[in-house]
Amino acid sequence: MIGSVEFDPGAVRRAEHSAFSHDHGCWRSVRADVVRRTGIGRQETNISADNHAILLNILGVAKEGEDYLDGRRVAFKQRPAGSLSFVPADHSWSGWDDGDPTAAYVFITIGKKFIQDRFENVPGTDLDRLAPTIGFEDPLIQYAARSICSEIGQGDPLANMMVENHASTIFGRLFRLSGHRRQYLKGGLSPAVLKRLIDKIDASLDGSLSLTELAHEAGLSEHYMSKAFRHSTGLPPHAFIIRRRVERASEMLRYSDRQITEIAYACGFSSPSHFAAAFRRVIGSTPKRYRADWKA
């Protein structure tokens, strides 16, 4: 069970500020805290996780600083709105950062026993391979985290089930990401070739890229390139491209006021209905609802 007084913003993300607000919700196995501050300077991070912790930055950019995972210094990455950080149970994250004077974040704590019980009989879900990760983006985890926050104050009998399902989604995605990295280490494309292919995909999300062009870039046949690409990423090229298009579209939905139809075509979808179907399949929500939830 997650206690009702387990989170102290001044200890986890300490900073001076001129204005401050703090909302939270606590369910059986999950707690979510939403912290908003203005007039802040340097923030100091000190997270020693007894349970699993997810931090989602929802406003402001962490521009420079130092980060330490389990006492070991790691390269600092700027963390814009939408960036995620994950600290598994029994690991730690400390450091400091400077950035925008107005900032907000969501801190979600998920019970260690709940995750053990939920995933113990699921193949490929070894908790020991989940490592602390700072400053990554994943639209499915972002959406699940925001959905947990939307349950704050609801107080209806379904809230526990809804929140725990969202928490399971977060860990399902974390396990998949971890598994893809493990597959990659066993074989597939070389790091240099895989990077070239992903860069080419990202530069052609308007829909202009063919499988033949990817194979040519890799110097392989289409069949072998597709097989090796799937081994390296866990997805065949077409599915990977669709996911990258959805990820790009989710950024545009969060950070721009462009019409949804315009975003659909800009991200290479043949029609708004094709975009909506792909977005729902990857994120679990419609583009319109996703934008509304994010800007709420």
The CATH number that applies at residue 162 is 2.60.120.10
**Structural domains counted in the chain:** 2
Do 256 and 160 lie in a common domain? Answer: no
Specify if 2 maps to a domain: no
- Residue written as token pair 């690991």: 91
Q: What is the pLDDT along the chain (296 residues), one digit of tens a residue?
A: 565 446 777 778 888 877 788 888 999 899 999 999 898 888 899 998 789 999 999 988 999 999 999 989 999 989 988 899 999 999 999 999 999 899 899 999 999 999 999 888 887 777 877 889 999 988 889 989 989 998 888 877 888 899 999 999 999 989 888 764 444 445 578 888 888 899 999 888 887 788 899 988 988 888 888 888 888 887 889 989 998 999 899 889 988 889 999 999 999 998 999 999 999 888 888 999 888 877 66
Of the candidates 117, 152, 185, which is a domain's last residue? 185
Do 211 and 135 lie in a common domain? Answer: no
285: exposed, middle or buried (Cβ count in 10 Å: 0-12, 13-18, 19+): buried
What's the domain range around 253? 187-295
Do 108 and 239 lie in a common domain? Answer: no
Contact predicate 82/143, CB 8 Å = no
The CATH number that applies at residue 222 is 1.10.10.60
Q: Per the confidence metrics, is the pTM higher than 0.85?
A: no
Specify if 132 maps to a domain: yes
Do 140 and 197 lie in a common domain? Answer: no
Letter string b/e over residues 140-151, b meaning 16 or more CB atoms within 10 A of that residue's CB:
bbbbbbbbbbbb
Specify if 3 maps to a domain: no
